[in-house]
Amino acid sequence: MCDICTAHGGGKKWFEVKRHVEVKFAKEMGFEPWEKDHWQHVHQQYAQLAAQAGDAMADPVMAENVRKMIDNLIFQIHPLNKNVTFTFPQGHGAQVLTRQEIEGVIKLSGEPYLIECLCRKMINNASDRCCIPLGLHGETAEMFPSKQEKVERISVDEAIALIRKFNEQGRVHTLAGTPLPMAMAVCNCEVPNCIALRPRVDMGFNYIIRGHSVAKVDVDKCIGCKECLSRCQFGAITFQNATGRARIDMWKCYGCGLCAETCPEKAIELIDRESLPALKDWW
């Protein structure tokens, strides 16, 4: 188990525990003030932090020190008010999950909402309704209509249908755990648009952690069609000209499962990260 599951899962994966998606539990944990603060300042928080990170990482001399400083900023200090501390225990803001795992979380919650993607809104001023808040996160979003064009309560079946559509489009599913141990929203996004994925993939900020699965190619089944190459947003898949087969670098794999779902020959399987001694602590 990852540290998050060990601390919050009670023998399960942290996102498989029902109370972590329940509004009642979130309120008992005192998360309402965090939620209200998030929605009141959400555009400033994301936009300012993303802009600052991009500018800082452009300096190769300062990049490493800046990375450490911004990691500290993300997990401990409110970007607008230095007297307010965010709740990001154990360095975790979100985790990459497979489509099947995400569908399980949505069923467990039973309270999905639909809003536009804040990342695309801030980067391209584009409206793309692909973010699915859960429970208290969606309920609180309704209190701030000026921050969203529309906050819509949808059914579990509607949410799962959307997840499958986004999966076919090649979008990575991440589950935001903020503040932990709450599962607050399902993000269906992609690099470079995602303000959470891009800092991890391109800049090395530890905001998002890898999933519990790792993809592996069965070379006897692979026909070298290259369908999987365009599905990987983490640079983990390459095509080996010598063998005419795809190859997956497990150290780079985040376990999203998009490659496995798109392979026409079912030549890619997902295996448990923790079954691999070299990768069991590689989150």
Same domain, 96 and 225: no
Category of 255 on φ-ψ map: left (φ > 0), alpha (ψ -120 to 50) or beta: left
pLDDT tens figures, 11-23? 899 999 999 999 9
Name the domain count of the chain: 2
| Rounded distance between C-alpha atoms, residue 107 and residue 5, angstroms | 19
pLDDT category at 87 given cuts 50, 70, 90 is very low
Same domain, 78 and 178: yes
Same domain, 50 and 184: yes
Place of tokens 């709740």: 87
| Rounded distance between C-alpha atoms, residue 90 and residue 70, angstroms | 15
Mean pLDDT across 50-56: 62
Exposure letters 223-238 (e unless 16+ CB within 10 A, then b) = eeeebbeebbbbebbe
pLDDT tens figures, 227-258? 999 999 999 999 999 999 999 999 999 999 99
DSSP H or E segment with residue 102 = helix 99-109
| Rounded distance between C-alpha atoms, residue 197 and residue 116, angstroms | 17
User: Is 224 part of a structural domain of the chain?
Assistant: yes
| Rounded distance between C-alpha atoms, residue 192 and residue 120, angstroms | 10
| Rounded distance between C-alpha atoms, residue 98 and residue 91, angstroms | 21
Final residue belonging to a domain, choices 186, 208, 230: 208
Same domain, 203 and 217: no
pLDDT tens figures, 148-200? 678 999 999 999 999 999 999 999 999 988 777 889 999 998 887 787 787 77
Same domain, 246 and 158: no
Same domain, 72 and 197: yes
Same domain, 38 and 112: yes
User: Is 283 part of a structural domain of the chain?
Assistant: no
| Rounded distance between C-alpha atoms, residue 86 and residue 102, angstroms | 25
Mean pLDDT across 114-137: 87
Q: Taking a C-beta distance cutoff of 8 angstroms, is the pair 230, 196 a contact? A: no
Q: Which domain holds residue 174?
A: 3-208
Say which residue, 165 or 4, is predicted with more confidence.
165
Final residue belonging to a domain, choices 159, 193, 208: 208
Final residue belonging to a domain, choices 208, 232, 254: 208
CATH number at residue 228: 3.30.70.20
